[in-house]
A and B are shown apart, each in its own frame.
Chain A
Amino acid sequence: MIRLAFAIIAGVLLGGVVHLVSVLALPRIATQDAYSRMMPLAKLNAVTPLPAADPNNTLMPYMDPAFASAVCRYDLSGGPIKLTVPVSQAYTSVSFYTRNDVAYYAINDRSAGRRVIELDLMTEAQHSALPEDEDVTAADRLIIDSPSVTGLIVLKALAPEPGLMGQAQASLAAANCRVAPPEATPAKR
């Protein structure tokens, strides 16, 4: 009897460990997470428009039907990414996700403060390798550090009325996401 009670207590305690390990492991082993769903349709280091949210579109759950969206699946191993997104009439936002779908940064048109959202995305190592006195690191260039080498950039443009969806899609079609050529700026001094 004592042994049986021991087995149950040990089982429950061990169960707690199993629970913690499995919760932490789930994002790594999930095969139907957002990044995996994007894999087949999103080109690497290029902007791919996403199909409009409608009842037959099972790409991702909880998509906002009022938005036109596009995605850039990035891989920073070949160098930093340069992203330019023209601002649409109503509202435009750019969100960054790691390979494991953690939203680590998001910016909207107003906080970007101009007609085109321009960003440089790089890993922390690439950022620290930038020459310090380079004037492009000044305020006119926004640099984002990606915690992971691969991930997703989601571009969204709002169509406040259904009739404006075409406009929102057109403004995203003009967005650009590409590997920036290594800057050929040898020391200016």
Chain B
Amino acid sequence: MRLIFITLLALIIATVVGLGATWLTATRGTELGTLTIGAWTARPRTGTSEIDPYARASIARSGELPVGTGDGVAFTASTDDKKRPLDGRCDVVVSGVTPAARFWTLTLYDRKGQLVANSLQRYGFTSQEIVRGSDGGFEIRIASRSRAGNWLPTGALERYVLMLRLYDTPVGVATRSQRDAPMPSISTVGCP
């Protein structure tokens, strides 16, 4: 009787620990093969056949298709440079320069990867439609109310994710640091 109880307990612990760890890694992701520059993270290897099993599991769960390496690379940010979560009720400024690429797009998603509805039907910017300063740098204002210049509406969402995709770019598996890939800074400039 006691043996059965002990075995049962061990099996229950095994199930909880095993499936719990799988769920955590599939939803939150792992640090395996990530490239972090400032607030931005990319996983260049998810766009190749050398994708790690954890990334495969998380892609299968979310239902997205990763950007292939010959196509480009995708960086995501869910916090600003000071590790403060991106808040749609605040004013957030993305500014600076981007790594070398033929085109890039910056898109705002909710935490499930869906676009956020707004009356302008503006969900992001491409490198071509952005208004730049005389030095070639740009500044995008992400806020719930309209702003001058490059304004990206948040729909006053509490938490959102930014995705910067570089297309036809040398940035990839071999990229290590800010020097190879100068990413724009993200800063929260004001909260109501």
Knowing A26-B61, A102-B49, A160-B128 are in contact, say whether A15-B121 is a contact too (CB < 8 A): no
Q: Which one, A8, A34, A57, A93, contacts B64 given CB within 8 A?
A: A34
Within A113-140, which residues are at the interface with B (CB < 8 Å)?
Answer: none
In the assembly, what is the distance between CA of A23 and CA of B54, in Å?
A: 7
Verify A54–B121 contact, CB threshold 8 A: yes
Q: Which one, A19, A53, A106, contacts B22 given CB within 8 A?
A: A19
Interface of B is mostly: mixed
Could you tell me the distance in whole angstroms from the C-beta of B144 to the nearest C-beta in chain A?
A: 16
Verify B18–A19 contact, CB threshold 8 A: yes
Verify A33–B71 contact, CB threshold 8 A: no
In the assembly, what is the distance between CA of A37 and CA of B12, in Å?
A: 33
Q: Which residues of B contact A58 (CB under 8 A)?
A: 114
Could you tell me the distance in whole angstroms from the C-beta of A26 to the nearest C-beta in chain B?
A: 4
Within A1-31, which residues are at the interface with B (CB < 8 Å)?
Answer: 3-4, 6-8, 10-19, 21-24, 26-27, 30
Residue B141 lies at the interface, judged by CB distance under 8 Å to chain A: no
Verify B70–A106 contact, CB threshold 8 A: yes
Residue B116 lies at the interface, judged by CB distance under 8 Å to chain A: yes
Could you tell me the distance in whole angstroms from the C-beta of B74 to the nearest C-beta in chain A?
A: 8
Verify A103–B25 contact, CB threshold 8 A: no
Closest to A21 in B: B18
Verify B113–A61 contact, CB threshold 8 A: yes
Q: Which one, B13, B59, B105, B126, contacts A8 given CB within 8 A?
A: B13
Closest to A33 in B: B60
Could you tell me the distance in whole angstroms from the C-beta of B38 to the nearest C-beta in chain A?
A: 20
Q: Which one, B18, B114, B115, B121, contacts A14 given CB within 8 A?
A: B18
Residue B182 lies at the interface, judged by CB distance under 8 Å to chain A: no
Verify A23–B103 contact, CB threshold 8 A: no
* 4 closest cross-chain pairs (CB), A and B: A18-B18, A61-B113, A106-B68, A11-B13
Contacts A65-B123, A107-B70 given; 6 further ones with Cβ under 8 A?
A: A14-B10, A22-B18, A61-B109, A91-B103, A158-B103, A161-B126
